[in-house]
Amino acid sequence: MSGLIDLSASQAAAAIKRGEVDPGALFDLYRQRAATDSLNAYTWVAEQAPKAPPQPSLGGVPLAVKDLFCTEGVPSQSGSRILEGYRPPYTATVVERLAQAGAPLLGKTNQDEFAMGSSNENSAFGPVLNPWDRARVPGGSSGGSAAAVAAGLAPWAIGTDTGGSIRQPAALCGIVGLKPTYGAVSRYGMIAFASSLDQAGPLTRDVSDAALLLSHMVGERDPLDATSLDFPEPIAMPSRRTLAGIRLGVPSELTGEGIEPGVLGAFQATLELARQLGATVESCALPHAPHALAAYYVLAPAECSSNLARFDGVRYGYRAADPDDLLSMYERTRHDGFGVEVRRRVMLGTYVLSSGYYEAYYGRAQRVRTKIAADFAAAFERFDFVVMPTSPCVAFELGSKLADPYAMYLNDFLSVPASLAGIPALSIPNGLASPPGGGTPLPVGFQLAGPAFSESQMLDVAFALEQALGFDGRAVRS
């Protein structure tokens, strides 16, 4: 049975369809591994597999789901004490679609509270540990999903990406993570952080698994989500072996200062590999990208301030005991129920939306967002994809950045531009790099960003790079 762990999700699904693997046995194997999780990657694990639909496309390969996706009758807490034990009466559209396609719910994964964080240290249920080095973070906010996939505690998982929360933990854990085009995947049933940015996507061992899972996440527009869109064509399974004819743009604004030498070295080596595979690699400009982080940390907190106003202790979730009056109940519930980072962002967002400051901060940030989208559009007139490292650093030590919010936010400066532009972006592992000062080499991610709805082509290019890179993550799946 241990050999099943080395099968990718796609391989496992194919083996099930050939009758070589029993889906019940596969589920039980992963359920046992998840139930004995020592990384704190899970907040809840299923007792048994739900009944599978007939002839499932995904074969019955179990799926780990980030805690912020609502799942009927199952704890859906978004990593927060204010929703501790909350069991919603409905299931998120994307989870339902995947279940109907044959990916039964294995468990719910730990995350930064309300998806606010880059280290998965902000969860009310404790930090997730990186399977490559348990003294380090897995990245966030989808750190539980990333760690579970990397460590063989799940064959694949879904997470959400607001400013890099799929791509960054994928990079730090040595797996593949894809943020689709905004609107490509229904947000119905996702507990919201920033509604104009949140997007669900796959976290998988390899590019083929990402394509297969994504193919069942996108499709027809969901009438329950006003921001969802019809995906223009089915996701194609990747098969490209060369990069002949592919044009890659390298933005100087996102490939220089602030990136660790080991990360930058791995990036440059991957660019050279892309050239050897036939790609044209040239410099491009994203002149407003340096302002993306500042704009993001105005826009996202503003939206979170609005979205989290519903958590007031009245209708559901945590309520402070024995309040003196209604106002004290609100204040104590939100103070005790929200963690430090969530309270920080709510206050920041409320401030930038307040009278007298709205135009100076929120309005200006929206204009920057428009400029960033225009920069990418101009780049895509010359290039098929824009490429950069996924994270400026390898996984950092637990607790090392908690006292400095700005240092923590800087982890997002390579991933936030694509989020503000609403375009798809993907991270693949492209090697190992030693942390500053030396130590055990840790995974590094290579990021591709493309025009809206270019996911199939992006996955195809990523597949060719993946095959040539030959990254092996089996060491952490024992």
Catalytic residues: 66, 141, 165
- Residues contacting 51, CB < 8 A, separation 6+: none
The whole-angstrom separation of Cα 78 and Cα 87 is 11
Note whether 442 and 136 are within 8 A (CB).
yes
Radius of gyration over every alpha carbon of the chain, rounded to an integer in angstroms: 21
Task: Read off φ and ψ for residue 46, nearest 5 degrees.
Answer: -65, 150
Which amino acid is located at 268 in the chain? Q
The whole-angstrom separation of Cα 476 and Cα 459 is 24
The whole-angstrom separation of Cα 156 and Cα 203 is 6
- DSSP string for 427-443: EEEEEEEPPTT--S-EE
* Partners of 107 in beta bridges: 45, 64
Sign (positive or negative) of CA dihedral 215, 184, 172, 387: positive
Q: Pick from 22, 123, 43: which is nearest to 86 by CA?
A: 43
Q: Pick from 89, 68, 88: which is nearest to 79 by CA?
A: 68
